[in-house]
Structure 1
């Protein structure tokens, strides 16, 4: 027995909605599982390669903590979005995980036209202390607390939404 076309669409839309919700639930579960250690992020005090102190406890404005690596394929697509956030006035602090010495990290930044502040993590000790094992990892930190975290590729719009939610 054939179902008339006008009755197939609601079933297809329902199936699509269910699949979309399952996909979103899976993404949220992965983000939760791979999120940095919130207590470690809040307690961390770092210094950029330009000797600027980074103290998440003192930040009232939401700060994007971006852990990336020179060898990370997804980071090549995420870094430009992070750069646009930085240039539009959002506070960004990045951690270059296992990407060489300071000169090599700065050469990578110059090559890709990136100007956001960077903390060099040549041996991965900082990333490990933060509980980060995947690049890119992005956390939104505000008022000394990690508000949101995601890993893998994300869009500039997704980042802006997360910053808005963190306020």
Structure 2
């Protein structure tokens, strides 16, 4: 019985250490929100003009920075499209991913389920000092309250979203 308890304790300690390392990596790689970002007007590939303040006023917003050349983004993009289809509030920003037609092809025509902004030169990502793709920001009422970089599962994104809605 003590071996089982020790094994359980070891597993819990390992999980806590992994969580701490992941949190530290996110903290170190966290984007820096540019001043007045919530009022910046974004032009989507389907012709709409949006602001982060408007998008996040009533419902928590997930801002998803991705790139065509990012292998991990292929998996995360599918998750973000599914989440948008399920009612989550998602804004996708495609950094250095070609022209609007190339982005639509990359998304296999599913871009209409969520607003997509083309950032062909990476200027928006540079304003935020984003160096890692994909990067996910969670914005509530115009304020960035959480971010993560690199691969994140759909469950991980949903848990972060739930946490923000529960505690912020």
Larger mean CA deviation between 22-31 and 150-159 belongs to 150-159
Q: Specify the alignment match of 2:159 in structure 1.
A: 161
Q: For the residues of structure 2 that align with 1:44 and 1:134, how far apart are their CA atoms?
A: 22
Give the SS at the match of 1:38: coil
TM-score by length of 1: 0.87
Choose 1 or 2 for highest CA Rg.
1
Identify the match of residue 17 of structure 1 among 1, 4, 12: 12
Unaligned runs of 5+ in 1: 1-5
Unaligned runs of 5+ in 2: none
Q: How many residues align?
A: 161
Give the SS at the match of 1:154: coil
Matched, 1:7 2:2: yes
Identify the match of residue 79 of structure 1 among 73, 77, 80: 77
Contact 1:93 1:117 in 2 (8 A): yes
Post-superposition offset of 1:100: 1.0
Aligned-CA RMSD value: 1.7
Q: Specify the alignment match of 2:44 in structure 1.
A: 48
Post-superposition offset of 1:38: 3.2
Q: Specify the alignment match of 1:131 in structure 2.
A: 129
Post-superposition offset of 1:39: 4.4
TM-score by length of 2: 0.87
Post-superposition offset of 1:82: 0.5
Identify the match of residue 22 of structure 2 among 4, 27, 31: 27
Q: For the residues of structure 2 that align with 1:50 and 1:142, how far apart are their CA atoms?
A: 24
Q: For the residues of structure 1 that align with 2:152 and 2:96, how far apart are their CA atoms?
A: 21
Q: Specify the alignment match of 1:88 in structure 2.
A: 86
Contact 1:95 1:118 in 2 (8 A): yes
Task: Flag as ranges the 4+ runs of structure 1 deviating above 6 A.
Answer: none
Give the SS at the match of 1:66: strand
Q: For the residues of structure 1 that align with 2:104 and 2:135, how far apart are their CA atoms?
A: 20
